[in-house]
């Protein structure tokens, strides 16, 4: 560990905290239909979109209508994306002549991008045409993020509502999210990344002889435009197979900082959006504080563990920390910070190889995801997940003092608590069932790369990541076998891993969405009780502590036995396997 | 339900055209105008021919006249990247480290008497994430400098100057880690002793 490393981590936290109220306030105005600076340019475009969609943005939806539109839209887009990826061979912008990946891999990829997971069993530069990357995947990078944020806006309206059951209009929320937030930020972000060396071209791959006369080929493509939204929209699907470890995807220290900032920028700012929309900014800061505290705890552990080095390094007398699978220009501090924040948010992009992290260092991303992706979490999904946790926390506090729990003046009763428990417990259940199926039957074995406890951790990580819609991986775990041949000749998928993972991603995405909307619909019609002397305050350090404790107890302890079998074994011994 | 279906189909068309074609093509156009070299991969030319990219490491095949890149599991392939993915407690990883240390010492010890395994910088024997890491640490370069200096008959001070000239520092002075750009350094050496 170095002072330089800690300085960079501290600087990151300061910038993130500073931008939270600025962007958060702006987004609150966008979702409340207030005037913003971009109105003059984007207002006419917005109205044109509604005309083309033949929809009336003023038509309000209750929670059931909102949920139905979300599901119908996502289901249709699933079909379209699947067809695009399976017919890749006949599309333009395919200079390398890549054929489609097999059907099972394509199913996994489609589920992955529709659900904002961006788990990748394929390698971008060896599998996908530029057309598939742009018209297929980059579109979903935007749309799946916008869907999550739209659902959050509806959920917040339910929490803030004064007795009406209307939660807003799905098409208006999605359109305004795209036009006023995601597209402008991505466009500027992409240009910043290109200025640092990230590529953005439609030209074909470039081959040449190196200084030593060896053949080398540079993979090219429209990368920066996709990377900007991949980071901002908590998507995480790399243009290249090694994601943001590839210099063409992440060129230097400054670009790396921007990409890392983009991971948490919107999820963090949404806490401020929430505070403004419910009319009490301290409520937003309380959620931010709980998230930031858990994030800092994670990065401290990860950085210390990685700087200490791995048992394999020590057996070979290597000092200097665990740089295996990490890039020199990022070093250990920026790799550990990235690994922490990318799993706090359900982003899942990586700038180093998580599979090669030490037992303890690698358990940080794993545990981050196991909290249910609420430490900032995905854009939209993180905060509606966190709001379910907040309801659970006030419920537990209510049980302790024997009062009917309230949140923001709304009574939390049996119906809400049941829905909260569905939303909170469904995902952990999916993780454990998926992992158990994979390790208890012979079908999970072909995906595993490392022997011993590391192989178990790869499996646990894979189903944790997919069910929680994160998308990062212990990348030795595979679902796609692709011999080194151009055009994907002879490629085949590992059907069990592809299908189970795909189902995990879809259910892990849409069950909590419906549960959160149902909770919001239920709260929306309730009267707001006046604030009194006996009210349990939810904007104080006590509540922040309680909330963080509930997240750790519910999220992480569910997985304690599973963690013992993998990362803990490796972290506590110097045994080699 | 019917209204949801119709609006969804229209939205899929609109979003695909705007976000999937207009946005990336506009970004490409602006990037190509503002940052033409970088948008195309920071290619490096020597005598009018492309010999590499300043962002992509390449194999110098243990040629003693050149600085050597970090180990790569992909054979320095930027068109088919993957991680090494060996876990921290794997015997295979320990063995890989031992082999890499032995190879490094074979190459450097004749020029650095007394160099031992514990003195070898970790970046010199661990595989990078991308397989094409363009940088090595300054400590690693300082050890290799003695070999390059002797095999090229170039003063050690001059080699060190070239190392400094081709070191990418931290961005803005504090973001990231400094690294010596191996390809650019080796090209500078070739120009120096041509």
Of A533 and A255, the structure prediction assigns the larger pLDDT to A255
Q: In chain A, how many domains are there?
A: 1
Residue B6, chain A, CB below 8 Å: the answer is yes
Question: Which residue of B68, B85, B171 to mutate against A (max A Cβ within 10 Å)?
Answer: B85
Neighbours of A319 (CB within 10 A): 13
Residue pLDDT, tens place only, B165-175: 999 999 999 99
pLDDT for B79 equals: 94
**Chain B: residue whose CA lies nearest to A256:** B176
Share of chain A above pLDDT 70, in %: 99
Q: How far apart are CA A467 and CA A224, in angstroms?
A: 28
Share of chain A above pLDDT 90, in %: 90
Q: Which of B19, B46, B175 lies closest to A142 in CB terms?
A: B19
Neighbours of B178 (CB within 10 A): 16
Q: List the domain boundaries for chain B.
A: 2-36, 42-193
pLDDT for A404 equals: 85
Size of interface A-B (CB pairs under 8 A): 388
- In which band, very low, low, confident or very high, does the pLDDT at A485 lie, cut at 50, 70 and 90? low
Neighbours of A437 (CB within 10 A): 15
Return the closest-CA partner of residue B152 out of B162, B139, B164: B162
Q: Using alpha carbons only, give the angle A245, A249, A253 rounded to the nearest 5 degrees.
A: 70
Residue pLDDT, tens place only, B143-170: 999 999 999 999 999 999 999 999 999 9
Only one residue has tokens 């930031």, namely A292
Domain-located, residue A442:
yes
Residue pLDDT, tens place only, A164-185: 899 999 999 999 999 999 999 9
H/E stretch holding B48: none
Q: How far apart are the first and last CA of chain B?
A: 75
Residue pLDDT, tens place only, B25-41: 999 999 999 999 999 99
Residue pLDDT, tens place only, A380-431: 999 999 999 999 999 999 998 888 899 999 999 999 999 999 999 999 999 9
Only one residue has tokens 């990826």, namely A85
- In which band, very low, low, confident or very high, does the pLDDT at A482 lie, cut at 50, 70 and 90? confident
Domain-located, residue A388:
yes
ipTM: 0.97
Across chain A, mean pLDDT equals: 94
Q: How far apart are CA A15 and CA B36, in angstroms?
A: 30
Residue A534 reports pLDDT greater than 80? no
Neighbours of A553 (CB within 10 A): 12
Judged on CB neighbours under 10 Å (0-12, 13-18, 19+), A421 is: middle
Residue-by-residue DSSP string for A368-397: HHHTTSTTTTSTTHHHHHHHHHHHHHHHHH
Residue pLDDT, tens place only, A82-131: 999 999 999 999 988 899 999 999 999 999 999 999 999 998 888 999 99
Across chain B, mean pLDDT equals: 96
Q: Using alpha carbons only, give the angle A514, A517, A519 rounded to the nearest 5 degrees.
A: 110
Return the closest-CA partner of residue A173 out of A142, A152, A194, A199: A152
Angle between helices A139-160 and A223-232 (to 10 degrees): 20
Q: How far apart are CA A277 and CA A50, in angstroms?
A: 24
pLDDT for A274 equals: 97
Residue B193, chain A, CB below 8 Å: the answer is no
Average pLDDT over residues B104-112: 97
pLDDT for B114 equals: 94
Neighbours of A238 (CB within 10 A): 28
**Chain A: residue whose CA lies nearest to B89:** A576
Q: Which residues of A are less than 8 Å from B84 in CB distance? A: 324-325, 353, 356
Q: With CB atoms and an 8 Å threshold, state whether B174 touches A316.
A: no
Residue-by-residue DSSP string for B84-129: ----TT-HHHHHHHHHHHHHHHHHHGGGSTT--GGGS-GGGTSPPS
Return the closest-CA partner of residue A355 out of A455, A276, A439: A455
Residue A533 reports pLDDT greater than 80? no
* B window 97-136, beta carbon within 8 A of A: 97-98, 101, 117-118, 120-123, 125-136
**Chain B: residue whose CA lies nearest to A475:** B85
Of A46 and A162, the structure prediction assigns the larger pLDDT to A46
Residue pLDDT, tens place only, A210-248: 999 999 999 999 999 999 999 999 999 999 999 999 999
Domain-located, residue A577:
no
**Chain A: residue whose CA lies nearest to B138:** A328
- In which band, very low, low, confident or very high, does the pLDDT at A163 lie, cut at 50, 70 and 90? confident
pLDDT for A574 equals: 87
pLDDT for A36 equals: 92
Residue B42 reports pLDDT greater than 80? yes
Neighbours of A16 (CB within 10 A): 21
Q: List the domain range (segments joined by +) for residue A36.
A: 3-572
């Amino acid at each position: 560990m170095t002072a330089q490393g800690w300085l960079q981590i501290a600087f990151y936290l300061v910038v993130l905290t500073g931008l939270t109220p600025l962007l958060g306030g702006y987004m609150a105005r966008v979702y409340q239909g207030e005037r913003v600076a971009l109105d003059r340019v984007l207002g006419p475009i917005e109205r044109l979109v509604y005309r083309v969609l033949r929809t009336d943005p003023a038509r309000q939806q209750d929670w059931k209508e909102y949920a139905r539109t979300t599901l119908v839209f996502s289901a249709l887009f699933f079909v379209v994306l699947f067809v695009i990826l399976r017919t890749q061979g006949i599309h333009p912008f395919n200079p390398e002549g890549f054929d489609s990946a097999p059907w099972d891999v394509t199913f996994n990829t489609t589920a992955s991008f529709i659900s904002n997971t961006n788990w990748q069993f394929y390698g971008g530069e060896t599998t996908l045409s530029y057309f598939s990357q742009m018209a297929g995947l980059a579109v979903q990078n935007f749309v799946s993020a916008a869907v999550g944020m739209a659902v959050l806006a509806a959920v917040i309206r339910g929490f803030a509502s004064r007795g009406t059951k209307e939660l807003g209009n799905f098409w208006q929320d999605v359109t305004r999210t795209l036009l006023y937030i995601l597209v402008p930020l991505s466009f500027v972000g992409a240009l910043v990344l290109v200025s640092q060396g990230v590529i953005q071209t439609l030209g074909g791959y470039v081959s040449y002889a190196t200084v030593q006369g060896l053949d080398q080929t540079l993979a090219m493509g429209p990368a920066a435009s996709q990377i900007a939204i991949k980071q901002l929209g908590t998507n995480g699907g790399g243009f290249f197979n090694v994601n943001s470890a590839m210099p063409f995807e992440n060129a230097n220290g400054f670009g790396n900082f921007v990409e890392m900032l983009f991971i948490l920028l919107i999820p963090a700012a949404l806490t401020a959006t929430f505070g403004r929309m419910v009319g009490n900014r301290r409520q937003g800061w309380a959620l931010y504080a709980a998230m930031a505290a858990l994030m800092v705890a994670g990065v401290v552990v990860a950085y210390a563990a990685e700087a200490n080095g791995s048992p394999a390094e020590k057996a070979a007398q290597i000092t200097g920390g665990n740089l295996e699978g990490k890039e020199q220009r990022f070093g250990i501090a920026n790799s550990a910070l990235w690994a922490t924040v990318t799993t706090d948010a359900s982003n899942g992009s990586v700038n180093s190889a998580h599979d090669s992290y030490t037992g303890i260092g690698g358990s940080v991303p794993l545990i981050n995801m196991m909290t249910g992706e609420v430490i900032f979490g995905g854009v939209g999904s993180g905060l509606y997940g966190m709001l379910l946790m907040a309801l659970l926390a006030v419920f537990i506090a209510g049980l302790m003092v024997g009062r009917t729990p309230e949140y923001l003046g709304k009574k939390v009763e049996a119906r809400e608590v049941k829905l909260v428990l569905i939303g909170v417990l469904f995902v952990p259940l999916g993780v454990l069932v998926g992992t158990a199926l994979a390790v208890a039957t012979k079908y999970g074995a072909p995906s595993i790369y490392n022997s011993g406890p590391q192989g178990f951790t790869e499996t646990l990580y894979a189903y944790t990541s997919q069910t929680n819609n994160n998308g990062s991986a212990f990348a030795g775990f595979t679902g796609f076998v692709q011999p080194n041949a151009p055009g994907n000749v002879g490629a085949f998928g590992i059907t069990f891993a592809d299908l189970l993972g795909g189902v995990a991603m879809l259910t892990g995405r849409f069950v909590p969405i419906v549960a959160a909307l149902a909770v919001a619909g239920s709260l929306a019609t309730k009267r707001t009780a006046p604030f009194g002397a006996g009210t349990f305050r939810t904007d104080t350090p006590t509540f922040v502590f309680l909330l963080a404790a509930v997240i750790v107890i519910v999220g992480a302890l569910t997985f304690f036995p599973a963690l013992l079998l993998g990362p803990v074994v490796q972290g506590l011994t110097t045994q080699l396997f | 339900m019917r209204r949801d279906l119709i609006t969804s189909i229209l939205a899929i068309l609109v979003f695909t055209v705007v976000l999937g074609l207009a946005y990336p093509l506009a970004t490409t156009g602006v990037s190509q105008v503002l940052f033409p070299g970088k948008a195309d991969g920071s290619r490096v030319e020597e005598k009018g021919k492309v010999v590499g990219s300043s962002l992509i490491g390449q194999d110098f095949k243990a040629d003693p006249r050149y600085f050597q890149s970090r180990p790569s599991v992909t054979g320095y392939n930027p068109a088919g990247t993957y991680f090494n993915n060996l876990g921290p407690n794997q015997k295979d990883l320990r063995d890989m480290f031992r082999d890499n240390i032995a190879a490094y010492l074979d190459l450097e010890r004749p020029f650095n008497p007394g160099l031992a395994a514990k003195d070898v910088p970790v970046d010199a024997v661990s595989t990078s994430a991308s397989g094409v890491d363009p940088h090595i640490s300054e400590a690693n370069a300082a050890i290799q400098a003695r070999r390059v200096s002797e095999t090229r008959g170039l003063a050690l001070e001059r080699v060190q100057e070239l190392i400094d000239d081709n070191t990418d520092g931290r961005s803005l002075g504090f973001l990231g880690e400094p690294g010596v750009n191996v390809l650019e350094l080796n090209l500078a050496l070739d120009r120096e002793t041509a």
